[in-house]
Amino acid sequence: MSYELEHVEKECLCPCGKGRIVYGWGTNDWNQVREGMIEIWCSDCSEKYKLSKGGLLPKEFPEYEGDKDAYNEMYKLRDIVNNYQGYYGIRFWPDELIEKRRQLYLTQDEIKEDQNNNLERNFAMALGFSKKLADDFSLEELKEVQRQLTESKYSTQLVGNAKDIAERYKRTYKTIKVSKVIIPVNMAVRNYKAYKESDKEDKRYIQNAKKLLKMAQSIYYKDFEQYEKNRKSQLIPFELRDVRSCND
């Protein structure tokens, strides 16, 4: 839904002098606010010009267009780099690594069950849950939790980390059954070393993606300097001035 600039904070005359260029804020039909809007309030000038960084440009002046392939590459890589910052959970595992890791982390029985019953989402969730356990606890702690879960019949018997993990499990899965909680704990113990390896693998993967992104950018922006030179030569700068509020 479009926003309408309703409150002008700054303005100046348009190039032909019959209208104004205005800056301010506005709302849409849902009363959401958008700040920093800028518009040409002149029918002649808005037909002739468009807004550009630092001024107005003739409408027909083209946008910068670099190498198409490099652009697509940049788009893909930026997505990867942005999604990987922070927590390297299963949801952010690289597409090309998910299948490899599924094979690595799930037992043959789990993979079979996964395929037969279409439980992919459940296993993806269980993997994600157990990966987080490996992030938050040491292997020794998890082994102790595993021991408690193996020896306990009821969740009320659990103490310490085991109790905390059971409660965490309940928040995600709405059940605290010992026989259920033990599934991702077993997974975390079983895959602990592999999860740590995957963290390193992810870091390398991201570092490489960042490097490739820089390369794609330098290809894409190869002619940008020349473009900017041309753009600036056509640019009609304007200077907005504060509008005195009616309440002053």
Q: Which residues bind Zn ion (CB under 5 A)?
A: 14, 16, 18-19, 42, 44-45
Between CA 193 and CA 20 the distance in angstroms is: 65
Tell me whether residue 47 or residue 167 sits nearer to Zn ion (CB atom). 47
* Residue closer to Zn ion (CB basis): 43 or 156: 43
Min dist CB 16 to Zn ion, Å, is: 3
Residue 77 CB, nearest approach to Zn ion (Å): 42
Smallest distance from Zn ion to CB 41, Å: 8
| Angle between helical axes of 139-151 and 160-173 (0-180°, round to 10) | 80
Nearer to Zn ion by Cβ, of 13 and 125: the residue is 13
CB of 228 to Zn ion, least distance (A): 26
The burial of 149, by beta-carbon neighbours within 10 Å (0-12 exposed, 13-18 middle, 19 or more buried), is given as buried
For strands 241-242 and 49-52, give the pairing: unpaired
Sign of CA dihedral 90, 91, 97, 100: positive
Nearer to Zn ion, 14 or 189 (CB): 14
How do the residues of the chain divide into helix, strand and coil, expressed in percent and rounded to 5? 60, 15, 25
